């Protein structure tokens, strides 16, 4: 029970990776508070204290922080979305909204915790980025920019918060949040570890990075993608066929 008497805040904990992270903290004895727009969460996840709001909105973040009754030991900036990019004519508003969810909210939530003396001593902050911060498919500019932003935000915050909090980032690759019963052989094979990722692969690293075992790690990004982004692909080599 590494996190007994600790308070974890997870954004986007109503589904997917965020839910798995929140449940992992609960299992380890932490109290978990979350902010999400999905109002079905209370019924499904009664042990997590949900505040319903859009993290892209300054006033909702302020209300959320005002509702907190306990300093935060672990802040997990998990929620994000994408609204495509150049090939879909992603609008100014769409692009900017994704940056607010993916970069501004992690920054401002941290700032509000500091201003309100709600960041516990020796806190840990984990930002969830993506391998898409480092590599792209076409038409993904809004998401990739937000993910690149949160990687850089991580080292900036780690330096500013020296002595107050360790700040680290995790960049997941393909994580199956839909519990697909079986993946195709090519889907598995494109990962050097031979399988697609699971939310628990990310949650376990979040717990480790928040724990005292990771006391010498700050400002770091850790890619968890089964090795997929390290695999060099040349058409016709090693059985790879492109196009």
Indicate which residue of 108, 143, 208, 234 is catalytic.
Answer: 143
**172, 205, 206, 207: which one binds ligand NAD (CB under 6 A):** 172
Pick 63 or 236: Cβ nearer ligand NAD: 63
Measured between alpha carbons, how far apart are the two ends of the chain, in Å?
A: 50
54, 102 contact by CB (below 8 A) = no
* Angstrom distance (rounded) from CA 243 to CA 236: 11
Give yes or no: 143 in active site: yes
* Angstrom distance (rounded) from CA 22 to CA 186: 31
228, 131 contact by CB (below 8 A) = yes
Q: How many residues bind ligand NAD (CB under 6 A)?
A: 24
Pick 48 or 80: Cβ nearer ligand NAD: 80
Residue at shortest CB range from ligand NAD: 16
Q: Does 21 bind ligand NAD (CB under 6 A)?
A: no
Q: Can you list the positions of beta strands (E) in the chain?
A: 7-11, 31-36, 49-52, 72-77, 119-128, 165-172, 221-224
Q: Does 17 bind ligand NAD (CB under 6 A)?
A: yes
At its nearest, how many Å lie between ligand NAD and the CB of residue 162?
25
The catalytic residue positions are 143
| Contact residues: ligand NAD, CB under 6 A | 12, 14-18, 35-38, 54-56, 78-81, 101, 128, 130, 172, 174-175, 177
């Amino acid at each position: 029970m590494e996190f007994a008497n600790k308070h974890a805040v997870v954004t986007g904990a109503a589904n997917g990776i965020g839910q798995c992270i929140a449940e992992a903290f609960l299992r380890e004895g932490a109290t978990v508070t979350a902010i999400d727009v999905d109002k079905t969460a209370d019924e499904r996840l009664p042990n997590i204290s949900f505040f319903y709001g859009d993290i892209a909105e300054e006033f909702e973040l302020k209300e959320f922080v005002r509702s907190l009754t306990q300093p935060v030991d672990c802040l997990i900036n998990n929620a994000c979305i994408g609204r495509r990019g150049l090939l879909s004519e992603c609008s100014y508003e769409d692009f900017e909204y994704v940056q607010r969810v993916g970069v501004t909210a992690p920054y401002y939530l941290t700032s509000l915790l500091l201003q309100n003396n709600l960041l516990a001593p020796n806190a840990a902050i984990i930002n969830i980025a993506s391998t898409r911060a480092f590599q792209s498919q076409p038409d993904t500019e809004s998401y990739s920019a937000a993910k690149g932003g949160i990687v850089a935000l991580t080292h900036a915050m780690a330096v500013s918060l020296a002595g107050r909090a360790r700040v680290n980032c995790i960049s997941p690759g393909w994580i199956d949040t839909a519990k697909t019963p079986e993946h195709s052989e090519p889907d598995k094979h494109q990962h050097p570890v031979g399988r697609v990722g699971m939310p628990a692969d990310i949650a376990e690293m979040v717990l480790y990075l928040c724990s005292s075992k990771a006391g010498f790690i700050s400002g770091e990004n850790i890619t968890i993608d089964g090795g997929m982004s390290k695999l060099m692909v040349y058409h016709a080599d090693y059985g790879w066929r492109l196009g």
